[in-house]
Amino acid sequence: MAKTEKQKMLSGELYLATDTELLNERKIASRLLRTYNSTTEEQKEERSQILQELFGEIGQGTYITPPFYCDYGKNIYAGDELYMNFGCVILDCNTVHIGNNVLFAPYVQIYTAHHPVEPDIRLSGKELASPIRIGNNVWIGGNAIICPGVTVGDNTTIGAGSVVTKDIPANVVAVGNPCRVIRQL
């Protein structure tokens, strides 16, 4: 039996994002995000309910400051005590696993989505997506970008403005473009 475009997307194969099933799932996420982003700080229970419906899994004590944006939501699996500041973006075309006690400064961007580098394949409209893992007790500084396929280890700090193109181990401070380890913890 042939794989669906969603199955291809989640397995890291070339897929068509214009597939009807994927379009419909993005529409659902878009509606939920529009509602979430229009809530006020007094609407804690409504925010919590929306995030429960939007995410694949979300732990206790999560606080996401609107606006927040993602593609599907259902591919995001977050642990307890997640904090995201203003303007965070998660392109969750593949799974994004976020550990416990993770802090995202403003405008952190998490990208599982990417495009083929070969122009002929890219022009076909097919895309790729690779999973991202962020460990426990991680702090990601403002305007940092986490690229497709990256793992960030436990207890690590990613400096503001960093572009994380490769895995970063546990217990380090890493900064820069491209992001590199500058200190062991």
114 tagged catalytic: no
Alpha-carbon span 179 to 158, nearest angstrom: 8
Q: Which of 115, 122, 166, 183 does the annotation list as catalytic? A: 115
Find where tokens 């392109």 sit. 91
Distances (CA, A) of 155 to 100, 106, 138, 170: 10, 19, 5, 6
Task: Report in angstroms the alpha-carbon separations of 71 from 30, 91, 166.
Answer: 8, 5, 23
What tokens does 184 get?
A: 């062991």
Cα separation, 43 vs 47, in Å, equals 6
Q: Is the Cβ–Cβ distance between 112 and 96 less than 8 Å?
A: yes
What residues does 127 pair with on adjacent strands? 15
Q: Do you know the residue count of the chain?
A: 185
**Residues forming the active site:** 115
